[in-house]
Chain A
Amino acid sequence: MTAVLFAAQRISAMVLAFAVCVHLTTILYAVRTGLTAGAILERTRENVWFLAFYSAFVLAIAIHAPIGLRNIVREWTLWRGRSLDVALALFAIMLLLLGMRAALAVYLPIFREPS
């Protein structure tokens, strides 16, 4: 189990290293070129590449963060066992749901605010 979690965390870290760079570069580009929220949404709405990228990003976060948090909790506290694993699985699901909600909000046209 530990070996599988270790592998999952290292592989998700590789994805995150790439995704964070792209994410930060995009933010810098958007800020420096003065893009408005509307202009950004124009680029992200129904853009499958955008959704695919951020879905992978969110998935990597949902895998990576709970495993790291599990290690920290186990090293710094006496909390162990099934209850800890269940709590962190719920944390992973929460990260996944919140992350995907955010990604879908700027991808799907149904979230568009009335003009």
Chain B
Amino acid sequence: MALSQDLLHVEVWRGAAEGSFQSFDVPRREHQTVLDVVTEIQREQDATLAYRFACRVGMCGSCAMVVNGRPRWTCRTRVSEAVGRRGRLKLEPLKNFTVVKDLAVEMTGFFDKWHDAKGHFEPRKAWQDVSQRDFAVVPPDSPERQAADAGIECIGCGVCYSACDVVAWDQTYLGPAALNRAWTLVNDVRDNARAARLHAVSGSTGCHACHSHMNCTEFCPKAISPTYSIAGLKRAMLSRVLGRRS
């Protein structure tokens, strides 16, 4: 239901790396999300507007954009909480990504870095551990599992990557999401690639480049703390250098 008198002024980025903001006026509605606003613009005012979404309920993370300067999931952001005092919305594509068109960004480089950080599980071979021929028993309350659980819910939306200052300075930096993923695997006792993974995340583009600004932690919609995960990787590397198994 439209709120009778209100129109919402929205500025939307149009173009790719080069472009400009285009203004739209959209009727205010009760419980309206920012994604609702973008969809209404695309369906009612300008069908050429490019953006990305899928689930609309905060599960897929594909609708992430920069809303009034803050990276967020637009499906989980109500207009009323985002507009602030000026009553305006400014929508931009995620920062630190190559813009494909308007509000849609290219995610390939982001996920390539997950691969570079060895963000994939590598199982043990049965012959490597004779005592564990059956499924590995992982107590849920063990410290390793707790540490992995703290970061396991990441869905790869790119909000942390957009918020990260270090990525903005150095595009080769692996970024908070990839390092967080590596940390969950470092703590997975079933994994067989711990040493290779620690090696992959310890270069000049890895965990040691993090300045602990905590923007990733501040903006993560899943309330994960990649900063903590990165600090964990630094500790694990320190133990490794000092010859201790962390």
Interface, chain A (partner B; CB < 8 A): 2-4, 6-7, 10, 74-75
Quick one: given A75-B169, A75-B170, are A4 and B204 in contact (CB under 8 Å)? no
* A10–B238 CA distance with the chains assembled, in angstroms: 9
Encoded as 1 (CB less than 8 Å from any A CB) or 0, chain B from 195 to 213 comes to 0000000111010100000
**With A3-B240, A7-B241, A74-B204 given, can you name 11 additional A-B contacts, CB distance below 8 Å?**
A2-B202, A2-B203, A2-B206, A3-B202, A3-B237, A6-B208, A6-B234, A6-B237, A6-B241, A7-B242, A75-B170
Chain B contact patch, size range? 10 to 19
Q: Is the interface of A mostly helix, strand, loop or mixed?
A: helix
Contact present for A4 and B170 (CB under 8 Å)? no
Report A-chain residues with C-beta under 8 Å of the C-beta of B169.
75
Interface, chain B (partner A; CB < 8 A): 169-170, 202-204, 206, 208, 234, 237-238, 240-242
Report A-chain residues with C-beta under 8 Å of the C-beta of B240.
3
Report A-chain residues with C-beta under 8 Å of the C-beta of B202.
2-3
Contact present for A3 and B204 (CB under 8 Å)? no
Instruction: Say how far A27's CB is from chain B's closest CB, in angstroms.
Output: 32
Instruction: Say how far B154's CB is from chain A's closest CB, in angstroms.
Output: 24
Quick one: given A75-B169, A75-B170, are A7 and B238 in contact (CB under 8 Å)? yes
Report B-chain residues with C-beta under 8 Å of the C-beta of A7.
237-238, 241-242
